[in-house]
Amino acid sequence: MQRPEEGVVEWLEKLHKNRIEGRGLRLVHQRAASPRPDGCQYDEAEFGPKKLLLCDLSLKDFLGDDGLTHLLNLLSEERLPQTEILEMIKRLHTPGYERARFHFKAAEAEGVIEPSLDPGFLWMREIVATLEWADKKKLKP
């Protein structure tokens, strides 16, 4: 994705015991910007038979201060798994995280970083070190 207009954040929801439950929060290309012939978004075959509702909003709705507030509101509503929302927050609001996330395990294995926070959380210095290491090795996501 080169521009926010090319992205969509989507997830699936269902009503379970009078409570909305969601899952599968993900960032995908908008159909017109997709590198795949059939698009990257959920296919109706994935959610239709299971009576799930597809929810999607433009990536722009999740960027900036209001976008962060939107994600935090989703977190407080407990409609989606906490881990999925936290990962999306890191991807969209932590500088460098989106590109570095593919290399954290390898960087740790090579001793480039020694994470001291809970799994999945890194200090900015660790993200920067991972990116520098990946660039030096010419690694792609």
Q: Which tens digit of pLDDT belongs to each residue from 61-76? A: 999 999 999 999 999 9
In three-state secondary structure terms, 49 is coil
How is the chain split into domains, by residue range? 1-93, 95-141
Whole-structure pTM value: 0.88
The kind and range of the H/E element at 134 are helix 124-136
- Give the count of alpha carbons within 13 A of 77, CB side only: 13
Q: Which residues pair with 58 in a beta bridge?
A: 8
Q: Which tens digit of pLDDT belongs to each residue from 90-115? A: 999 999 999 999 999 999 999 999 99
Give the span between the Cα atoms of 52 and 38, in whole angstroms: 20
What pLDDT is stored for residue 5 in this prediction?
87
> Residue 92 gets which letter from DSSP?
H
Q: Which tens digit of pLDDT belongs to each residue from 5-53? A: 889 999 999 988 888 899 999 999 876 655 666 767 777 777 776 788 8
Residue among 42, 33, 28, 1 at smallest CA distance from 88:
28
What pLDDT is stored for residue 134 in this prediction?
97
